[in-house]
């Protein structure tokens, strides 16, 4: 679509096209918020709030000390958990992917562990580790590691065998082979795994705090709900949504950087 657009690009059209894109991007959201505002002035449903009230609640609830006390620790645990999952998942995935007997021994076991719904592990982690920050990070890792691990195994397995043999005959060291061939070759699959892990990690962050915590984003939202602070509760949902969107956008940027060569290659193949 971009190629087609670029071919027609005349300076006169440019402004029109940008305006059109912006309109398409914000049209529906603006329309929806507008309808919502009108509707909220007439509605008597006490569980729903209008955009105005929501924004006020958002400002009062989250901007200020609550951000430092509740939101930042949650995000900190989320990021630590994600980094640990990527590190462990990729490291273990490379080893398991390279060693065929090990892979065949572990395969059914890994399939089983991946199939366990991750939130089920929260009570187990509470039993083994108590209600601590470590427990929450462990819970995030224990859920987020599987998509990364399994995708890394697949990616490493699918490394081009001719390239591997070429690297062998050129006596490229084990270490260099890992960094220059295996990891880059597996990176599209690894990134797919990380994207899946992202949403799992976010769910686990919220649930682990709803379950076993006296602080954090998940705890706050559950607390607002139990005390019928409706607008505050909605503002928490909004904040979680914003975090989800932010994570998705940030990941998109990282992915484009890491996989630039890959997308470029696909373009060439297609063209």
Number of residues assigned to the chain: 271
Q: Point out which span in 11-19, 57-65, 86-94, 103-111 binds another protein (CB under 8 A).
A: 103-111
Q: How far apart are CA 64 and CA 53, in angstroms?
A: 18
At its nearest, how many Å lie between another protein and the CB of residue 23?
Answer: 9
Q: Measuring CA to CA, which residue among 94, 25, 57, 19 is closest to residue 237?
A: 57
- In the complex with another protein, the residue whose CB is nearer, 25 or 38, is 25
Backbone angles phi, psi at 228, to 5 degrees: 55, 35
The token pair that represents 94 in the structure block: 């490379």
Here's the x/- map for another protein, 116-135, by CB under 8 A: it reads as xxxxxxxxx-xxx-------
Q: Are 230 and 223 in contact (CB under 8 A)?
A: no
Among 55, 66, 207, 259, binds another protein (CB under 8 A): 207
Q: Which of 14, 19, 28, 72 is the binder for another protein (CB under 8 A)?
A: 28
Choose which of 51, 73, 113, 258 interacts with another protein (CB under 8 A): 113
**Helix (H/G/I), strand (E/B), else coil: 64:** coil
Q: What residues between 240 and 269 interact with another protein by CB under 8 A? A: 240-241, 244-245, 247-248
Q: Which of 126, 114, 122 is nearest to 139 (CA)?
A: 122
Binding flags for another protein, 46-85, as an x/- string (CB under 8 A): -x--------------------------------------
Q: How far is it, in rounded angstroms, from Cα 136 to Cα 61? A: 24
- Pick 86 or 219: Cβ nearer another protein: 219
x/- mask, another protein, residues 159-198, rule CB under 8 A, reads ----------------------------------------
Residue nearer to another protein on the CB measure, 24 or 175 = 24
Question: Quick one: which segment of 6-14, 50-58, 100-108, 149-157 binds another protein (CB under 8 A)?
Answer: 100-108
- Looking only at residues 212 through 241 of this chain, which bind another protein when binding is defined by CB under 8 A? 218, 221-222, 224-225, 228, 230, 233-234, 236-237, 240-241
Residue with tokens 């682990």: 208
How near is the Cβ of 167 to another protein at its closest, in Å?
Answer: 25
- Smallest Cα–Cα separation from 163: which of 191, 183, 189? 183
Alpha helices in the chain (DSSP H): 2-8, 11-42, 51-62, 65-66, 72-98, 100-115, 121-129, 133-157, 161-169, 174-177, 183-211, 217-226, 230-258, 260-270
Residue 188 DSSP label: H
Contact 120, 177 (CB under 8 A): no
Q: Which stretch binds another protein (CB under 8 A): 62-70, 107-115, 181-189, 261-269?
A: 107-115
Query: CA-to-CA distance for 139 and 117, rounded, in angstroms?
Result: 12
Q: For 230, list phi and psi in degrees, rounded to 5.
A: -65, -50
Q: Which of 92, 147, 141, 138 is nearest to 115 (CA)?
A: 147
Q: Where along the sequence are the contacts to another protein (CB under 8 A)?
A: 24-29, 32, 47, 101, 104-109, 111-124, 126-128, 199, 202-203, 206-207, 210-211, 218, 221-222, 224-225, 228, 230, 233-234, 236-237, 240-241, 244-245, 247-248
């Amino acid at each position: 679509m971009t190629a087609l657009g670029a071919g027609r690009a005349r300076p006169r059209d440019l402004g029109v096209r940008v305006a059109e894109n912006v309109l398409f991007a914000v049209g529906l959201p603006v329309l929806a918020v507008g309808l919502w505002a009108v509707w909220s002035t007439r509605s008597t449903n006490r569980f729903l709030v209008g955009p105005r009230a929501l924004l006020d609640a958002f400002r009062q609830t989250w901007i200020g000390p609550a951000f430092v006390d509740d939101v930042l620790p949650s995000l900190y645990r989320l990021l630590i958990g994600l980094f640990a999952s990527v590190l462990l998942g990729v490291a273990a995935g490379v080893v398991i992917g390279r060693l065929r007997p090990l892979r065949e021994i572990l395969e059914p076991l890994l399939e089983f562990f991946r199939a366990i719904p991750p939130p089920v592990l929260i009570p187990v982690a509470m039993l083994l580790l108590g209600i601590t920050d470590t427990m929450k990070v462990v819970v995030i890792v224990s859920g987020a590691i599987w998509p990364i691990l399994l995708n890394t195994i697949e990616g490493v397995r699918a490394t081009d065998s001719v390239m591997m043999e070429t690297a062998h005959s050129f006596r490229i060291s084990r270490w260099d082979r890992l960094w220059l061939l295996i990891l880059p070759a597996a990176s599209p699959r690894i990134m797919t795994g990380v994207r899946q892990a992202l949403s799992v990690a976010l769910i686990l962050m919220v649930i682990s705090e709803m379950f076993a915590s006296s602080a954090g984003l998940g705890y706050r939202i559950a607390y607002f709900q139990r005390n019928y602070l409706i607008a505050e509760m909605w503002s928490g949902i909004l904040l979680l949504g914003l975090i989800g969107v932010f994570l998705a956008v940030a990941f998109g940027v990282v992915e484009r950087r890491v996989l630039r060569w890959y997308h470029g290659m696909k373009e060439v193949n297609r063209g």
